[in-house]
Amino acid sequence: MIHHLRAAGTSLILDATGSGTPVIVHWGADLGALTPADLDALAAASVPPVGPSSIDVPLRLSLLPALAEGWSGRPALGGFRVGATAGSRVGLPDGSPAPSGTLDPALTLVAVHKRGDNTLAIELADAHASVTVTTDLELTVQGVLRLRHTVTNTASEAGAGTLELAGLDAILPVPDRAAEILDFTGLWSHERRPQRSTLGQGAWSRESRHGRPGHDDSYLTVAGTAGFGFRSGEVWAVHLAHSGDKRVWAERSALGYAVVGAGELLAPGELSLAAGASYTTPWTVAVYSAAGLDGLSARLHPWIRSWSTITGPRKVLLNTWEAVYFDHDLPTLSRLVDAAAQVGVERFVLDDGWFSGRTDDQRALGDWFVDTAKWPQGLHPLIERVHAAGLDFGLWVEPEMVNPDSDLARAHPDWLLGSASAPTWRGQRVLDLANPDAFAWLLERLTALLAEYPIAYLKWDHNRDLLGGSVHRQTAALYRLIDAVRAAQPGLEIESCASGGGRIDLGILERVDRVWTSDTNDPLERQQIQRYTSVLVPPEYLGGHLGAATAHTTWRTSALGFRLATALFGSAGIEWDLTRASAAELDQIAAWIAIYKERRALLHAGVIVHADASDPALELHGVVATDGASAVFAQVALAAPRTALPAPIRFPGLDRARRYRVRPLLVGPAPQTMQTVPPAWLAAGADELVLSGAVLADVGLPAPLLTPEQAALFTLDAV
């Protein structure tokens, strides 16, 4: 049968009529309703010719491309079998040759199970190689394609031949016109730097070996038509929903095929499947859009929101890290609580420094007991103060880590992951979570803290690469640990942090309510980091904090208005010693928080949009309500513009037929401009402008002449 999955402008056509692995005939634009006869005709017509110096049959790209099919690109399944002996021990008739050596199964189709309208489970087997593979595949109503494979070693008897798995990946075809690749790299405090390349023949391959995705994570790999942007171009994107090591690639073969692929990066010998054992890959998330990167977000965000753990409005929080670092004491923090309450903060998060012996970042990780020197009565007096001020309380932890200088490491040197001779990182080592004793101890410590104190929120940090041990086992154990903590404390919110944005992926996102987007609070850096992180992850997850005027990461000084305008578009917070802020600054912050509270329902549920500006110094981004009734936009000057008069601001994503009232929205002091006369529509009294969505999108409005590192905000409300 030929299966046609359709949703939200996307089609996937799978030809399962043959005896082998089903062939992917099409993944891309919706092809409309096709009759069975249409599908037969399409599948038959898509069979390619046989070229010279080639295999003697047409090569059609299957769901699991393999050497045995004639595919000489990177195969979907790789491994080898060790220790097999002949005959029935591997489930074969007596006397038949035993499978051994390289695994290159010739899979045959056993069955395709339809689990729902757009959900298939495809069963494949190779009796001779003693493996089965099941592929789960779903095209969600939002147009997001997810797939994963499960391989089982079907040898019938223990010891009959272990399967050493080298890799099992999802591979999807992209058309010839997907000639340009966008993916991401980055550094600490500079995550999500976009990089573009042309996909020539060969593979553009990215690997993460950090034991976490890392600051340079490829994040989302997008293949698209030449010059694709936020609003234009056809794009095919893949992401692996996994927080451990991984590989993601795009490959154009000299045979004429192009693919994108993704899978967990397994170390040699890391995954041995004994007889009867299985391995299920993480989900690969794949999205097509004919409307550029914003089109990808328009599918990904509603899908993520359909399963998100976020239940209520994103509270404005104050995090103590850049305010006090390790200097914890009740009087200092009480003053900070009061200042936070005064401006309207709703959550107080006590960052690193609260636990036994933690005087700096070189010691005590692992000793998850409240430090009695700093907190003689425990955290109770602080939490009471926080509650009395009307806020809830959050606490920082870094459960996977341990300092050699800690009671835990001294008591349990056998709980450490990796080689003892490998370098420490920030003075720390990693706890082996796959060790049941270490796991149980951590679970006990975390749940004991949660039982003793009314903690609404954990900031769960992870500040080093693993550099050893089994990342596969560690990642699985981490997921189990988070799941167990959440189960023990229903309603608890968790923020994922990894030295900022080193662990942001859709595997962790299933388990957390917020991600710390980056350690930098510098708004200029943040504009870029938030812009690209939000292509995949909806803005309500992306922690963005108002920091001190001079950023602690770049030493750049920024205006309050620019800092406020930047932190508004995410899960907003403050990370600044408010006791040092002036009365005027506190007033501005309070007004900003009031605007955030008023608008967060829109900011956190709307559709994110970006203009493709001709001038890279000027960026327009915004959020439009899903019903098109309102929007908030920010025109951001990153640097000096190319022209004295920049191009008009054209507002994308509005309902073209509706009329909108456009008003400037002031957060903090007015943005600095260099203009003798402002644009007429922004001049005093001219803020009652009403124009149609079509006019605002196609003609636009003259931009104010912002000086570098300034942002002007606008609200648009349908009348």
Which sequence positions are flagged as catalytic?
461, 519
**C-beta closer to ligand DGJ: residue 458 or 618:** 458
Task: Name 157's Cβ contacts closer than 8 Å, sequence gap at least 6.
Answer: 89, 90, 275
**C-beta closer to ligand DGJ: residue 351 or 392:** 351
How distant, in Å, are the alpha carbons of 408, 417, 529, 607, 719 from that of 442?
Answer: 11, 15, 33, 39, 55
Site for ligand DGJ in 333-392 (CB under 6 A): 351-352, 361
Q: What value, to the nearest 5°, has the Cα angle with vertex 402 and ends 399 and 408?
A: 100
**Do the beta carbons of residue 557 and residue 529 sit within 8 Å?**
no
Site for ligand DGJ in 463-482 (CB under 6 A): 463
CA 152 – CA 91 distance, rounded (Å) = 13
Binding mask 678-697 for ligand DGJ (x = CB under 6 A): --------------------
Beta carbon of residue 4, minimum distance to ligand DGJ (angstroms, whole number) = 46
**C-beta closer to ligand DGJ: residue 319 or 715:** 319
Tokens for 173? Answer: 């075809």
| Residue 623 neighbours by CB distance under 10 Å | 23
Looking up tokens 């399944």 gives 77
**C-beta closer to ligand DGJ: residue 140 or 320:** 320
Q: Does 21 bind ligand DGJ (CB under 6 A)?
A: no
Regarding beta strands 493-496 and 457-460, do their DSSP bridges make them parallel or antiparallel, or are they unpaired?
parallel
Residue of 499, 533, 534, 710 that binds ligand DGJ (CB under 6 A): 499
Beta carbon of residue 113, minimum distance to ligand DGJ (angstroms, whole number) = 44
**C-beta closer to ligand DGJ: residue 361 or 407:** 361
**Do the beta carbons of residue 621 and residue 635 sit within 8 Å?**
no
Length of the chain: 719
How distant, in Å, are the alpha carbons of 337, 349, 391, 564, 594 from that of 591?
Answer: 18, 21, 18, 10, 5
Site for ligand DGJ in 312-331 (CB under 6 A): 321
**C-beta closer to ligand DGJ: residue 361 or 615:** 361
HSE-CB of 213 using CA atoms within 13 angstroms: 31
Beta carbon of residue 425, minimum distance to ligand DGJ (angstroms, whole number) = 12
Residue of 392, 400, 519, 619 that binds ligand DGJ (CB under 6 A): 519
Residue of 432, 461, 493, 709 that binds ligand DGJ (CB under 6 A): 461
**Do the beta carbons of residue 371 and residue 327 sit within 8 Å?**
no
Beta carbon of residue 463, minimum distance to ligand DGJ (angstroms, whole number) = 5
Beta carbon of residue 519, minimum distance to ligand DGJ (angstroms, whole number) = 4
Q: Does 517 bind ligand DGJ (CB under 6 A)?
A: no
Task: Name 290's Cβ contacts closer than 8 Å, sequence gap at least 6.
Answer: 9, 29, 234
Q: Does 516 bind ligand DGJ (CB under 6 A)?
A: yes
**Do the beta carbons of residue 691 and residue 662 sit within 8 Å?**
yes
Residue of 500, 507, 523, 539 that binds ligand DGJ (CB under 6 A): 500
CA 525 vs. chain centroid, Å, equals 18
Q: Does 396 bind ligand DGJ (CB under 6 A)?
A: yes
**C-beta closer to ligand DGJ: residue 189 or 208:** 189
How distant, in Å, are the alpha carbons of 293, 312, 612, 651, 664 from that of 606?
Answer: 16, 15, 19, 15, 19
Of 78-86, 111-119, 245-253, 493-501: span binding ligand DGJ (CB under 6 A) = 493-501
Site for ligand DGJ in 173-202 (CB under 6 A): none
Q: Does 495 bind ligand DGJ (CB under 6 A)?
A: no
Sign of CA dihedral 514, 520, 521, 522: negative
Beta carbon of residue 533, minimum distance to ligand DGJ (angstroms, whole number) = 15
Sign of CA dihedral 655, 660, 666, 670: positive
**Nearest residue (beta carbon) to ligand DGJ:** 352
Beta carbon of residue 503, minimum distance to ligand DGJ (angstroms, whole number) = 10
Beta carbon of residue 498, minimum distance to ligand DGJ (angstroms, whole number) = 7
**C-beta closer to ligand DGJ: residue 502 or 538:** 502
Of 200-208, 449-457, 495-503, 595-603: span binding ligand DGJ (CB under 6 A) = 495-503
Of 25-33, 141-149, 497-505, 701-709: span binding ligand DGJ (CB under 6 A) = 497-505
CA 67 vs. chain centroid, Å, equals 32
CA 350 – CA 123 distance, rounded (Å) = 50
The closest of 481, 401, 488, 487 to 447, measured between CA atoms, is: 488
**Do the beta carbons of residue 651 and residue 703 sit within 8 Å?**
no
CA 3 – CA 24 distance, rounded (Å) = 10
Site for ligand DGJ in 109-128 (CB under 6 A): none
**C-beta closer to ligand DGJ: residue 30 or 361:** 361
The closest of 591, 651, 587, 656 to 620, measured between CA atoms, is: 651
Beta carbon of residue 213, minimum distance to ligand DGJ (angstroms, whole number) = 15
The closest of 378, 358, 515, 547 to 449, measured between CA atoms, is: 378
**C-beta closer to ligand DGJ: residue 253 or 499:** 499
HSE-CB of 308 using CA atoms within 13 angstroms: 23
**Do the beta carbons of residue 30 and residue 226 sit within 8 Å?**
no
The closest of 301, 172, 284, 178 to 234, measured between CA atoms, is: 178
**C-beta closer to ligand DGJ: residue 115 or 426:** 426
Looking up tokens 């999500």 gives 192
Beta carbon of residue 8, minimum distance to ligand DGJ (angstroms, whole number) = 36
**C-beta closer to ligand DGJ: residue 427 or 664:** 427
Residue type at position 177: R
How distant, in Å, are the alpha carbons of 289, 568, 612, 622 from that of 651?
Answer: 20, 19, 11, 8
The closest of 425, 417, 405 to 465, measured between CA atoms, is: 425
**C-beta closer to ligand DGJ: residue 214 or 500:** 500
Of 10-18, 284-292, 401-409, 496-504: span binding ligand DGJ (CB under 6 A) = 496-504
Of 18-26, 45-53, 492-500, 579-587: span binding ligand DGJ (CB under 6 A) = 492-500
List, in sequence order, every residue forming a beta bridge with 401; answer none if it has no partner: 430
Residue type at position 657: A
Beta carbon of residue 497, minimum distance to ligand DGJ (angstroms, whole number) = 5
Cα(first)–Cα(last) distance of the chain, in Å?
51
Beta strands in 217-256 (DSSP E): 221-224, 235-240, 246-252
Q: How many residues bind ligand DGJ (CB under 6 A)?
A: 12
How distant, in Å, are the alpha carbons of 59, 84, 102, 123, 171 from that of 68?
Answer: 11, 21, 12, 18, 16
Beta carbon of residue 360, minimum distance to ligand DGJ (angstroms, whole number) = 10
Residues at the site binding ligand DGJ, with contacts judged by CB under 6 A: 321, 351-352, 361, 396, 461, 463, 497, 499-500, 516, 519
